[in-house]
Amino acid sequence: MTAFVLDIAGSESTGGAGCQADLRTFHQLGVYGACTLTCIVAFDPAHGWNHRFVPVDPQVIKNQTEATLSCWNIDAVKIGMLGTVPAIDATAEILSQHSFPHVVVDPVLICKGQEAGAALDIDNALREKILPLATVLTPNLFETETLSGMENISTVDELTDAAKRIADAGTKAVLAKGGANLPGDNAVDVLWDGHEATVYSVPKVGDLRVSGAGDSLAAALTAELAKGKDLHAAVSVAKDFVTRGIAQSLDAGTPFGVVWQG
């Protein structure tokens, strides 16, 4: 029986990350993926590959999701970049109105500190309105430090403690992605399932940072949960999937490589 996944995320036009990478991941893992776009991101090659960002109207976010839910019974949802407070509000409304079996949230935090302004408003709205609705949260190292209140995470024990702290704030399970950014020879992620911690560790693949690794890991986790895997088995598959994707990453003519899900 085919499993169906809804991706609520941004578009990244080169295909290396965002909804494009998520849909390729879903396809490779044998689930049907539908996508609600929340924003459109285009790199700016003339200015250091910075992000050019255009939000999608919140009513359009709702309309896309309404169409998808009229077609398919969704087995799992993955939340990626939302980007604005209105997009967060629309997504929170969607999640609250439907009892999705699994909601995997890859929390895209943009605030580097506590400076006032739009970035902090967006991050606070994400914390208050989306994170409590997640069944699994998949923060990267920076996001793990920010959400846990820990200034610097450099060991597996600290990563584990951070995952517990984030879960204590109301998320059922946390997969804290240390990945290649944690010091040492291994790419390490820690799953806190609400009762115990499990460490997933594999040797790092090269030195080049790659785009789409975090997206692909969260998308693979979502796909496996949609197919009925338990959380630990789903994380194992996702970790293996993204490790292989990094090993066969593509040279995109940018300062970073791109994960290949093929």
Task: Tell me phi and psi for residue 147, to 5 degrees.
Answer: -70, -30
Q: Average of pLDDT values for 183-201?
A: 96
Q: Average of pLDDT values for 214-221?
A: 97
pLDDT at residue number 112:
52
pLDDT at residue number 180:
87
Mean model confidence pLDDT for the chain: 94
pTM over 0.85: yes
pLDDT at residue number 117:
66
Q: Average of pLDDT values for 7-31?
A: 96
The yes-or-no verdict on residue 74 having pLDDT over 90 is yes
E strand segments, the chain: 4-12, 32-44, 50-55, 76-79, 103-105, 136-137, 174-179, 186-192, 197-203, 210-211, 250-251, 257-258
Q: Average of pLDDT values for 220-243?
A: 98
Residue-wise pLDDT tens digits, 78-114: 999 999 999 999 999 999 999 999 999 999 887 555 5
Domains of the chain: 3-248 (3.40.1190.20)
Q: Transcribe 16-69 into DSSP letters.
A: SSHHHHHHHHHHHTT-EEEEEEEEEEEEETTTTTEEEEEEPPHHHHHHHHHHHH
